[in-house]
Structure 1
Amino acid sequence: MTGTPFLLLDGAVAAEGVDQGVVGHYGNPIVEQRRLERGEAIVDCSNRGVLTVTGPDRLTWLHSMASQALDRLAPGASAEALFLDASGRIEHVVHVVDDGASTWLVVEGADAAPLATWLDRMRFMLRVEVADRSTEVAVLGAMSTKALDAAAPAFAPNGVALDWTDSWSSPAPTAHRYAPDAGHPASAWHWIERVVPRTALADAAAAVRAGRVAAAGSLAAEALRIAAWRPRLATEVDEKSIPHELDWLRSAVDLGKGCYKGQETVAKVLNLGRPPRRLVLLHLDGSDTALPVPGDPVVGEKVRPEPEPGEAPERRVVGRVTSSAMHHELGPIALAVIKRQVPPDLDLIVESHGIDVAAAQVEIVPASAGAATDVPRLPRLGVRK
């Protein structure tokens, strides 16, 4: 992939970390957040990868492997799906839109080649073809189609616009939510990803330069995503992550579909068990200007029943920061994955940059999240009533 023309816009500062290759901000991420939230700005997401699956068996084939029901996906409709390993751990995340002839998968840039290789190995004798289109097409993000239309017309190579609309704010009836809908910040998250020819990026940058639409950097998009409690493969997922821990049953798992790899774990944890870890939002002490970085440890203070006079509480690591941002209303915030047993009212500390940052947690996946099915207890043998 070649460099993005958005990096040539006035004030553009390149992003670091998982969004390396696109613009991090244009000089004022807070103002950019507000514009993006109002639907007035676009985000260059050309570091994303895009795959296509073609052939008459494409939807039923993807359906058989994914956590989401895809076999009857209508042209132009959007879906999010996970590919899990046999133990239910998350391996790939795809944003899916079908145009009637091809199924388009928007993925993290670093995941495009591994996913394409894995899918190609899984074709067997089915009539499907997998292609990595990341050098031909790119992705623009926004909170409104109006902003996207001002930057680049909808791309419809087969007569259907390739706009993926996130369902995070409106889960399907077959989804499961750990976080309650009442007061959920997803109501403010209206994210759209538009697949466009990579050559259209220059026209989109020109539209920004001409004032027809504003531009926001990846920092602005990340701040709004974190505030909406929205998980992302590149940040929240590690080698142990299962969907329940991140509340990803909300948008990417259809509980009514048939068998797929990892389904046994999905059903078992939902119906009989508890997620071993849980995603939380952290409100951070803003007295220090440095934000925590992904991987910073989250610690809790363990007070002994009868501490010695003057004895400092014992600390233990209970989780890790996955992403952080300075939000235009909430101030410094972060997402973190912590152990399920951590009390929801326990004040936490993030150890970052050699200092302690006080953190108050907001439950996303509740500590009390338990089995969705009541299993009757069988009487013990030999016991009569």
Structure 2
Amino acid sequence: MRSPLLDTPGAVAAETPDDTVAAHYGRLYAEQHALAAGEALVDRSNREVVQISGPDRLSWLNDLSSQKLDTLAPGTPTQTLLLDAQGRLEHHLTLVDDGQSVWAHVEPGTSAALVAFLEKMRFMLRVEVADVTAAYAVVTVLAPGAGDGAARPAPEGVIAIGGDLLVPRERLGGFAEELGLSLAGLWAYEALRIEAHMPRAGFETDHKTIPHEVGWIGSAVHLAKGCYRGQETVARVHNLGHPPRRLVFLHLDGSVDTLPHHGAPVTLGVGSPREGDPEAAVEGSAEPGQVGFVGSSARHHELGPIALAVVKRTVPVDISLLAGGVAAGQEVIVPPDAGRNVTIDPSLRRRIR
């Protein structure tokens, strides 16, 4: 569903799966500054929206997903995951309950599969599931990592999920002006998301991803709640083992003109102790010496070129890497000893100043 904000002078469309919204409006770094300062709105209307109503909705979702939702207070934003039986990611939901319905937004192109799964799991419970993407658009008015406490009150007819707002689609074209905000493109949002060490489903995840690998323990997984599909894997890794991979933040070589694309191979850097060691490579990789892949990359207004990547847990934290051939220094997000009751230090997550 093409956004009307793409008709804004200077708007340039983003790439798939975000090609129906603007990557930028011609002021790349100024848009990042404005978003970080809480003075801009990002059009994320390509994300899809699901509404779940009925008196059993919270206890039902609590039984199906990774977050503790049966006691969720109205107006409290949270995240949850739907996993397969092996504990691998299927859906990541950002949601809120308004006292009558749960409102969730998900990645572009995923709501149909999510709704189909939820419909299959209704049984005799008092719940109703609807895809309301045609009626509501997602916009963001708070920089990733800034904390939901800084979120502004939602205007009438708008649902707030932390720094995200679900806006009636007929208001999308003039909504930034209605709030007195400038427009920032998705590139600004992505640069600040990467800075904040926040993974995105489909970018920092693949068909093998388990929650520990990308740091969703705590933010999207409650370790003390009851059973749900995939919980055995989560509990086993947390109590007994380590995830096979870990999320890392990369400072990229600023002298290179191009950014590594999503899926670009991560290999050991020149001069690394195990450079070229075939035993260090990801099993089944077509790239010699590959130890991971690039999830997202961006040019940050202060940090320069940056990226998130997923690498093998055993890659030493103090060696340089190559991300799509670009030299990169590591910053730990998920530590190599994650699991076995080791939690991620919250100070490792960046906060927007």
Task: Normalising by structure 2, report the TM-score.
Answer: 0.87
Unaligned runs of 5+ in 1: 157-161, 166-191, 374-385
Query: Could you tell me which of 287, 294, 297 is aligned with 1:321?
Result: 294
Q: Separation in 1 of the partners of 2:225 and 2:258?
A: 45
Alignment-derived partner of residue 64 in structure 1: 63
Alignment-derived partner of residue 183 in structure 1: none
CA contact (8 A) 2:261 2:296 kept: yes
CA contact (8 A) 1:42 1:147 kept: no
Q: 1:365 to 1:17 in 2, by over 3 A?
A: same
Indicate yes or no: 2:89 matched with 1:90. yes
Q: Separation in 2 of the partners of 1:115 and 1:370?
A: 28
**What letter corresponds to residue 333 of structure 2 in structure 1?**
I
Indicate yes or no: 2:242 matched with 1:274. yes
Q: Separation in 2 of the partners of 1:276 and 1:31?
A: 39
Q: CA deviation at 1:368?
A: 3.1
Secondary structure of the residue aligned to 1:235 is coil
Q: CA deviation at 1:289?
A: 1.4
Count of matched residue pairs: 328
CA contact (8 A) 1:41 1:147 kept: no
Q: 1:347 to 1:5 in 2, by over 3 A?
A: same
Q: 1:350 to 1:72 in 2, by over 3 A?
A: same
Task: Normalising by structure 1, report the TM-score.
Answer: 0.80
CA contact (8 A) 1:344 1:361 kept: yes
Alignment-derived partner of residue 174 in structure 1: none
Alignment-derived partner of residue 183 in structure 2: 215
CA displacement 1:359-383 (0-9 Å, x = unmatched): 111111112334128xxxxxxxxxx
CA contact (8 A) 1:40 1:147 kept: no
Q: CA deviation at 1:285?
A: 0.5
Q: Separation in 1 of the partners of 2:339 and 2:7?
A: 50
Identity of matched residues, %: 51
Indicate yes or no: 2:257 matched with 1:289. yes
**What letter corresponds to residue 328 of structure 1 in structure 2?**
H
Which protein shows a greater Rg?
A: 1
Alignment-derived partner of residue 163 in structure 1: 160
The residue correspondences of 1:326-337 to structure 2 (distance < 5 A) are 326-337=299-310
Alignment-derived partner of residue 26 in structure 1: 25
**What letter corresponds to residue 268 of structure 2 in structure 1?**
G
CA contact (8 A) 1:154 1:194 kept: no
Alignment-derived partner of residue 320 in structure 2: 347
Alignment-derived partner of residue 377 in structure 1: none
Q: Separation in 1 of the partners of 2:339 and 2:19?
A: 38
The residue correspondences of 1:145-294 to structure 2 (distance < 5 A) are 153-155=155-157, 162-165=159-162, 192-204=163-175, 206-207=177-178, 212-294=180-262
Alignment-derived partner of residue 8 in structure 1: 7
Q: 1:358 to 1:131 in 2, by over 3 A?
A: same
Secondary structure of the residue aligned to 1:64 is helix
Alignment-derived partner of residue 115 in structure 1: 114
Q: Separation in 2 of the partners of 1:301 and 1:58?
A: 49
Q: CA deviation at 1:78?
A: 1.3
Q: Separation in 1 of the partners of 2:228 and 2:150?
A: 38
Secondary structure of the residue aligned to 1:234 is coil
CA contact (8 A) 1:235 1:323 kept: yes
Q: Separation in 2 of the partners of 1:285 and 1:26?
A: 26
**Which segments of structure 1 move beyond 3 Å, counting only runs of 4 or more?**
144-150, 205-208, 301-305, 312-315
Q: Give RMSD over aligned pairs.
A: 2.4
Indicate yes or no: 2:331 matched with 1:362. yes
9-18 or 253-262, larger mean C-alpha shift: 9-18
**What letter corresponds to residue 102 of structure 2 in structure 1?**
T
Unaligned runs of 5+ in 2: 278-287, 343-353
CA displacement 1:111-145 (0-9 Å, x = unmatched): 11110111111111111111000001111101179
Q: 1:41 to 1:301 in 2, by over 3 A?
A: closer
Q: 1:103 to 1:369 in 2, by over 3 A?
A: closer
Q: 1:292 to 1:252 in 2, by over 3 A?
A: same
